[in-house]
Amino acid sequence: MITIIDFGMGNLGSILNMLERMDYKAEITSDLETIENAEKLILPGVGAFDLAMTNLQTQKMIPVLNRLVLENRVPILGICLGMQILSRKSEEGVLEGLSWIEADTFRFRFDNEQSLRIPHMGWNTIHTAQDSCLFEGMYEEARFYFVHSYHVKCSNEENVLATTDYGITFTSSVIRDNIYGVQFHPEKSHKFGMKLLGNFVELC
């Protein structure tokens, strides 16, 4: 069973619908006992960093997730804000993140000559930095749908799984053992997103 964690911060229905179209058993839940029994975890998120961490704390999810992910090595995929809260902190707020990835989250900043909009919104390509089950057999020129104003900077290159260019080259996917994160929205990325989610379920 693929468990989509409901902590009040994500477009959960779209992820569930895509997984069910692919004939995978999935559920959306905030119930701690159900989360404890997950085979795979998806941590989506749309919104503000501090609110996300507050909701996880209020719902007493952090100790459960730490045990499952760090001790029991249950695979987890963070999506968009769900990837950002894998980091230590964000310029968007003051609360600590989960700190599963040695990274911090920063707002996009561009030179005055660059007339790029924030948020970074729309389709963009990714460039894999290392081999991983998440992008195994991925289509050439893989394109995914992005909506974000902040991006993650990893302290260690070994945690950078993919990058994307938007004014700067930023980290668009992270990895650490059984922990995966993507800044884009696979549930809005058609065949590319379906391939990635299938890889996560089948291979990771």
Query: Is residue 143 within a helix (H) or strand (E), and if so which, with residue range?
Result: strand 143-148
CA 58 → CA 61, 93, 181, 199, distances in Å? 8, 17, 23, 32
- Give the model confidence (pLDDT) of 49-104 as tens digits: 999 999 999 999 999 999 999 999 999 999 999 999 999 999 999 999 999 999 99
* 8 A C-beta contact, residue 173 and residue 181: yes
Full set of structural domains in the chain with CATH: 2-202 (3.40.50.880)
Indicate if the pLDDT at residue 10 is higher than 90.
no
For residue 96, indicate whether it is catalytic. no
80, 120, 148, 151: the active-site residue: 80
pLDDT tens by residue, 139-173:
988 999 999 999 999 999 999 999 999 999 999 99
* Residue 185 annotated as catalytic: yes
Catalytic residue, candidates 92, 120, 151, 187:
187
Q: Which of 33, 185, 202, 204 is catalytic?
A: 185
Crossing angle of helices 12-21 and 190-202, in 10° steps, is: 80
Please confirm, yes or no, whether 133 is among the known catalytic residues. Answer: no
